[in-house]
């Protein structure tokens, strides 16, 4: 599974660093390092919806507040 977090300016100001660090932590806590490939990209063109995250090309709007829930529903549940 490939998760891409937007680290462009707009998402950066909305907290993409927190999202990245939290996802790294969650991936490691759940021992998913071999199953999940976390990466960054500059601007996916949907700045209003940032922090923009895609999971295998599927778009999610993530924030500091909902990053844990996002991980549970969009990552953990999909990985089964």
Partner 1 sequence: MRKFDTKVQHLKYKILREVARHAWDDSLLKCVLDIPKQIFPGPKPTMRCCVYKERAVAAERVKLAMGGDSQNDNVIEVIDIACDECPVGGYEVTNACRGCLAHRCEDVCKKGAITFDSNHVAHIDKSKCVECGACAKVCPYTAIVSRKRPCQSACKINAISIDENLSAKIDNDKCIGCGACVYQCPFGAITDKSYITHVIDLLKNKESRVYAVVAPSISSQFTYAKLGQVITGLKELGFHTVVEAALGADMVALSESRELVEKGFLTSSCCPAFVKYVKSAFPKLEEHISHNPSPMVAISKYIKETSPGAKTVFIGPCTAKKSEARLEGAREYVDEVLTFEELQALFDSRDMDITTLPEGVLDNASYFGRIFARSGGLSDAVSQAMKEQGLDTSFVLKPEVCDGIEACRLALLKKNKNVLNANFIEGMACSGGCINGAGCLTHGEKNKSEVDKYGREALEKTIGDAVSVLM
41 or 73: CB nearest partner 1: 41
32 or 43: CB nearest partner 1: 43
30 or 46: CB nearest partner 1: 46
Do 40 and 20 contact (CB within 8 A), yes or no?
A: yes
Rg of the chain in Å (alpha carbons): 11
> Which residues are near partner 1 by CB under 8 A?
5, 7-10, 12-13, 16-17, 20-21, 24, 38-43, 45
HSE-CB at 70 with a 13 A cutoff on CA atoms is 22
């Amino acid at each position: 599974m490939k998760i891409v977090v937007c680290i462009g300016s707009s998402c950066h100001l909305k907290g993409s660093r927190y999202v990245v660090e939290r996802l790294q932590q969650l991936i490691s806590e759940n021992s998913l390092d071999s199953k999940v490939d976390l990466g960054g990209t500059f601007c996916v063109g949907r700045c209003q919806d940032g922090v923009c995250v895609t999971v295998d090309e599927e778009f999610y709007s993530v924030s500091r507040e909902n990053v844990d829930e996002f991980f549970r529903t969009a990552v953990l549940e999909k990985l089964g």
